[in-house]
Amino acid sequence: MRCIRPLFIYRFLFAYLWLHASTGFAWQGVVTRVSDGDTLWVQPLSRHKAVKIRILGVDAPEICQVWGEQSLRALYALTMGRDVQVQGSHADAYGRLLAHIFVQGHDVGAWMVLHGHAWSYAFKSHHGLYDAEQMAAQSMQAGLFGDSNAMEPRFFRRRFGACP
């Protein structure tokens, strides 16, 4: 019986740490700025400095791209000045926190893709987090998926470079 108890505790601790590492650190805040369709600033309720966040799993058009302004306005209307929950723990190469954002329990990334304001971000051979939402948006020709000139930002940057 003595050997089983430590083994159980180790398994419990491993499962707990694995779960929290995969879901990330969660905190509450208020959106104070929206830079584009996938980047915003959140003022944590517990700190004085706002955090720049890149919404995990989406890739919105650059501001100078087709649908870039509409994407920015959509994220602004959905989040600006609102209380949000942030779930993330890693920064990208630009120092932005990569995180899921929730407004009243609703996933902002899923909403942006479903309404045609962003693509589900896929990396190499991995599927995007919001592929199902993107398929639904494409079938409805929602937002940028109804515009034949819309181009995924990664292809846009390769062809034209960054926005001025």
69 is an active site residue:
no
- 2 catalytic per annotation: no
Catalytic one of 11, 54, 69, 154 = 54
| Catalytic pick among 96, 133, 154, 159 | 96
SS (H, E, C) the chain: CCCHHHHHHHHHHHHHHHHHHHHCEEEEEEEEEEEECCEEEEEECCCCCCEEEEECCEECCCCCCCCHHHHHHHHHHHHCCCEEEEEEEEECCCCCEEEEEEECCEEHHHHHHHCCCCEECCCCCCCCCCHHHHHHHHHHCCHHHHCCCCCCHHHHHHHHCCCC
Is 152 a known active-site residue?
no
Q: Looking at the annotation, which residues are catalytic?
A: 54, 62, 96
